[in-house]
A and B are shown apart, each in its own frame.
Chain A
């Protein structure tokens, strides 16, 4: 890999938050790691996507505010942050979102996240225990104002799941929506 493509790769990774494996820090890991994610679905392949859903993130709400999927369906989400603040699109259960909100609060307290800015360098810093504050789970994207991201997600099992923004205060102000399963 030449240097240029390496830089591009990093830029893409940090701009949209990777779809790769998630070792550590982010959503759901407090909730039993990868195992628990089976309840909410698994990362999907873009080639298998049966539906594309565009999600607009605004201050502090989504358009649309709820979505419908079929069990077993792979959905490609194209997410755009049209607000003035950082927002997240995260697929999970209400309990997973609650756990993730605490992590997000820590990211704010450490200056990794600001209201309208993500400090990517700080995300990569070792917190002293081998862990970083990287926000790289496949079920979520965290976007600065004006940025876009993508998630491909396979809803292999119906359940009570929601998409939500876990930036402090946003979920409670109503920045969340239900994922309904059509039969």
Chain B
């Protein structure tokens, strides 16, 4: 057992605090988790992985807002481990990131987490050590609200998505480093070249291919790790996870994307979904036919199946290389039609932040060393007052105009956009930011290096924030991949142009060729991780340490200097 002393001291502080503030309602529950080697059976292949309490996914931890939790985590592996409580607001020493929050949990040891639960909603937990998370070390957290929630439901299911790969995380990382397109099975072939030449002319086709070559990227680079089997609550498409309902009931589905690398587009043919919560924070209810969930995000939706029949939960990967499938049914064993995968999207030059069709005759060989920072992305903050819900066409300002990734639910169907997310309650008073920090999301695909402002984690200093300030982060995505950026410990208020109703998230997806802004009220002293949540991007350098200077508990800051990225 490590850190016993520190924890004793800490629990005293918590006890005093709860005596003063919440003397009567305080509950203190104890949760026990073991970290174990497990066998994961996807229905297509069986693979040894890592799980909790003997299974992957681990259990649903059901907590209550206002309680003080004690979580004993016993490491039964022969390597170090850790658990990060994704999206929870807590003291930084409890955040579970080795080298930033604490040292980690040694083999055979039990580490005891203790922290107050100050929020409600749908969250998850996962290992922040090595590639244990892609290997299966994840579970879900459901926190019951103290107050009545602004919606009603009769049943409640966690729907946790993952992308189980037959290769271990460590092997995938090695292969990507050796050959970045190792897992890209959708590369364009000589046949594509001939048909494109016939359609667009030889010159255009050659120019197009040369342009992509200069970018060191390929139009089919939407999923750089393919060959996985999507799982819903640990079950593959043929194992068909099923949630039961009685016709007419409202069913709350808590979607969590715990994938290592995969975004999913989710629909339930025959049912409209009312989105009521994003990343654990309630949003004004919005009815959609389909939504995209980035890695690490959560969305709660309510559906009301009225007929006595089965409905398919269909989760196709954004690059369309695979789908997850589950079923909602009145009785076990019932199934509904499983749709075909939609056509694979191809990235366009718009996803590079530029439209090359307007650049005829350019000599692409002169484009090396281009300054991508000068590329105009989209500035969402300038789009205030536009009501995008009115647009009948499928325009989503959170994608570059002409982007191959822009989602489309089909004719007369609604696909959720970040633009539709409006906070149900303001968590913070709306105010002007005190300063702006620009973070360019950068990468070199040829060497599988992902970075921020051109620098990998180990080559760059931490970002220092002042307690009490409101920082505006400007994310400029200069790569052709989407990056789900996750800030630990503090909320990211996503600027959709809705001012005080901007939604509050823990993970925001920045699409290729776009610029996106978030604001953070710096209210959590200590040091925190800030990274792209694609496992292999974070591990290869798209990661920063944030240090919050000042604040009431600044004395608690310890001096951890190691900068080894542990994701």
Contact = CB atoms under 8 A, between A and B. Distances in A.
Interface of A: 58-61, 65, 84-85, 108-109, 115, 168-170, 172-175
Nearest to A169: B285
A145 B148 CA distance: 18
Contact of A61 (B152, B276, B284): B152
Interface in B68-101: none
A173 B148 contact: no
A108 B286 CA distance: 13
A174 B286 contact: no
A25 B447 CA distance: 63
B390 interface: yes
Given A60-B151, A61-B148, 16 more contacts: A59-B150, A60-B285, A61-B150, A61-B151, A65-B152, A168-B285, A168-B287, A169-B284, A172-B272, A172-B274, A173-B150, A173-B151, A173-B152, A173-B285, A174-B153, A175-B152
A169 B150 contact: no
B387 A169 contact: no
- Chain B interface residue bracket vs A: 20 to 34
B302 A168 contact: no
Given A59-B424, A172-B272, A172-B274, A115 B284 contact: yes
Contacts of A85: 284
A169 to B, nearest CB: 3
Contacts of B276: 173
State the majority secondary structure of interface residues on A. Answer: loop
A115 to B, nearest CB: 7
A16 B304 CA distance: 32
A30 to B, nearest CB: 18
Interface string B417-453: 0000010110000000000000000000000000000
B501 interface: yes
Nearest to B273: A172
The 10 closest A-B pairs by CB, nearest first: A174-B152, A169-B285, A173-B151, A173-B285, A172-B274, A60-B150, A59-B150, A109-B390, A174-B151, A169-B286
A120 B151 CA distance: 28
A59 B151 CA distance: 8
A171 B424 CA distance: 15
Given A59-B424, A60-B151, A115-B422, A168 B286 contact: yes
B187 interface: no
A42 to B, nearest CB: 28
Contacts of A58: 148, 150
Interface in B274-309: 274, 276, 284-287, 302, 304
B150 A172 contact: no
B144 interface: no
B104 to A, nearest CB: 42
B178 interface: no
Contacts of B364: none
12 contacts: A60-B285, A61-B152, A85-B284, A115-B422, A115-B501, A169-B274, A169-B287, A172-B285, A172-B302, A172-B304, A173-B276, A174-B250
